[in-house]
Amino acid sequence: MAKIAPNSEGTMSIKGILIHVDGAEATKARVEFAVALAKEHGAHLLGIAFAPTALLPLYGADVGFADMTQILGSVKAQGETALRAFKARAQAEGVSAEIRLMQGVSDEFPRDFACSARHVDIAILGQPRDGDPLIGQYALVERCLFASGRPVIIVPGAPAKIALNGTIVAAWDGSAEAARAFNDALIFLKEAARVVLLVGVAGPSDEEREPAIEDMVAHLQRHGVSAEILRVTIGEGDLGKKLLSQATELGADMIVMGAFHHSRWREFILGGVTLTMLEAAAIPLFMAH
């Protein structure tokens, strides 16, 4: 993991990191990411796992009490084991860490997790498709993005690479969400070897209608970030796939974008561009709202 210099010039510092821990294999990658990030910043880690207290909505009314008790006990044991493994990994790297097992109704966990995220600087989650099926993974991501007031990093279960001082691709459409994401990500952008701002345009003659990209470049420059501009013709097709393809061509190590609702780069949280990015990104995805 590349070293990150201490925070300066008033950008967001990272002193508290929340990570969702479960028994899925994909947890290992985000634990490694979180531990390395915490180690570089001297941050405290909080790992939270979930154990449901009822499975009736998931398994149907014909599930016997004894069977349900056995399943619930197994799930709780898996969560506790995953938390112990997480804490041991953090301690092995000299990182301060604590663990919590939340118990309750599955539908309430995303809300409770998002509330916990308000007390840290950033939350680290896995891709929705890779998580524990007992938890609404998409609801967990959505709650963290829209109800925590904190940025989120989505870490793939098998990331192509993890490097924090390489190339960062940032999607810019002039929106408040994108602006928030850019500023929340300054601590990463400042240490990147290369920052590329992707701007979607309908065609070569559409540049006059593009967002105020030069002003954003100047803003980043004042924070010590030298950013390039790359205009991408949108046309037809899946915009998320185009963004991911462009990031791959650029050799990106991280993607920064706002958690969007509507526009040429934006769709409702669980549709279009955002859904593609959440499910298919092969590198860490930094998002904020």
* CATH assignment of 167-288, among 3.30.830.10, 3.40.50.620, 3.40.50.300, 3.30.9.60: 3.40.50.620
Q: Which two tokens stand for residue 65?
A: 């009490």
Nearest-10 Cα torsion for 255, 259, 262, 264: -10
- CATH number for the region 16-155 comes to 3.40.50.620
In whole angstroms, what is the distance from residue 54 CA to residue 43 CA? 35
> Taking a C-beta distance cutoff of 8 angstroms, is the pair 219, 226 a contact?
no
Q: Which two tokens stand for residue 152?
A: 């989120």
Q: Which two tokens stand for residue 281?
A: 């990104």
Do 16-155 and 167-288 show the same overall fold? yes
Per-residue pLDDT of the chain (289 residues; tens, 9 = 90+): 444 444 444 567 899 999 999 988 999 999 999 999 999 999 999 999 999 987 654 444 444 555 678 888 888 999 999 999 999 999 999 999 999 999 998 889 999 999 999 999 999 999 987 766 667 788 899 899 989 999 999 999 888 877 778 999 999 988 898 999 999 999 999 999 999 999 877 666 555 567 789 999 999 999 999 999 998 887 666 778 888 999 999 999 999 999 865 444 444 444 567 778 888 899 999 999 8
> Taking a C-beta distance cutoff of 8 angstroms, is the pair 107, 136 a contact?
yes
Domain parsing of the chain, residue ranges:
16-155, 167-288
Tokens 């821990």 belong to 21
> Taking a C-beta distance cutoff of 8 angstroms, is the pair 256, 182 a contact?
yes
Residue 288 is classified by DSSP as: E
In whole angstroms, what is the distance from residue 201 CA to residue 171 CA? 12
In whole angstroms, what is the distance from residue 66 CA to residue 124 CA? 35
Q: For 244, list phi and psi in degrees, rounded to 5.
A: -65, -40
In whole angstroms, what is the distance from residue 234 CA to residue 199 CA? 9
